[in-house]
C-alpha cells in the first residue's frame, strides 16, 4: 500500500503556494523539490516573488507591501485557473497558524480514491491516475 503524501511546512512557498500540490513537485520525472527545498524547476528559480528582497520574514505577509502587485497577479491567475488563492493561504497562516493551513490543504487536495495528493494544476492524482477533482 502506498503511503499518503503529507504536506509539511517546508512545502509552503513564501507566496503561499503549496508546493506539495504543484504538478512539478508531484511528477516523477524532473521532480521539483519545492521553493524552499532548493527548487529545480526553472519557474521557481526565476520567480520574482520567491527571490524578493523586500520580504522581512519567511512569507510575503512579512512585507510592508503585502499583498504586492506581483502577488495579486499570481493570486488572480490561480483563483481563476485553479480554484485556489495564495493570498488566502497566507492570511490563514498569519491569522491561525501554519498547522491550520496544512490541515485544510491535506483535506482539500487528497485524492478520494487513494488518499494521496492531487495536483492543483490539472486535478490529477499521480499515484492512481484518477482524473480531475470532483
Q: Which is more confident, 62 or 8?
A: 62
User: Does residue 132 surpass a pLDDT of 70?
Assistant: no
Say which range, 26-35, 53-62, 70-79, 106-115, has the weakest mean pLDDT: 26-35
- Domain segments of the chain: what residues? 9-109
Listed in sequence order, the DSSP H helices in the chain are 23-26, 42-45, 69-82, 86-96, 98-109
pLDDT of residue 128: 82
Split at pLDDT 50, 70, 90, the class of 134 is: very low
What is the C-alpha to C-alpha distance for residues 90 and 68, in angstroms, rounded to an integer? 13
pLDDT of residue 36: 85
At residue 73, the 3 state secondary structure works out as helix
User: Does residue 122 surpass a pLDDT of 80?
Assistant: yes
Split at pLDDT 50, 70, 90, the class of 4 is: low
At residue 94, the 3 state secondary structure works out as helix
pLDDT of residue 115: 87
pTM of the predicted protein model: 0.86
- Specify which residues 117 forms β-bridges with: 110
Residues 6+ apart with CB under 8 A from 40: 30, 31, 32, 33
Amino acid at each position: 500500500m502506498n503511503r499518503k503524501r503529507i504536506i509539511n511546512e517546508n512545502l509552503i512557498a513564501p507566496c503561499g503556494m503549496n508546493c506539495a500540490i504543484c504538478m512539478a513537485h508531484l511528477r516523477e520525472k524532473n521532480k521539483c523539490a519545492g521553493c524552499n527545498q532548493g527548487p529545480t524547476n526553472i519557474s521557481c528559480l526565476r520567480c520574482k516573488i520567491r527571490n524578493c528582497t523586500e520580504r522581512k520574514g519567511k512569507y510575503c505577509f512579512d512585507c510592508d507591501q503585502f499583498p504586492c502587485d506581483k502577488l495579486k497577479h499570481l493570486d488572480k491567475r490561480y483563483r481563476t485557473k485553479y480554484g485556489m488563492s495564495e493570498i488566502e493561504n497566507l492570511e490563514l497562516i498569519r491569522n491561525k497558524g501554519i498547522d491550520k493551513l496544512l490541515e485544510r490543504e491535506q483535506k482539500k487536495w487528497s485524492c478520494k480514491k487513494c488518499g494521496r495528493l492531487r495536483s492543483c494544476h490539472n486535478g490529477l492524482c499521480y499515484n492512481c491516475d484518477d482524473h480531475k477533482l470532483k
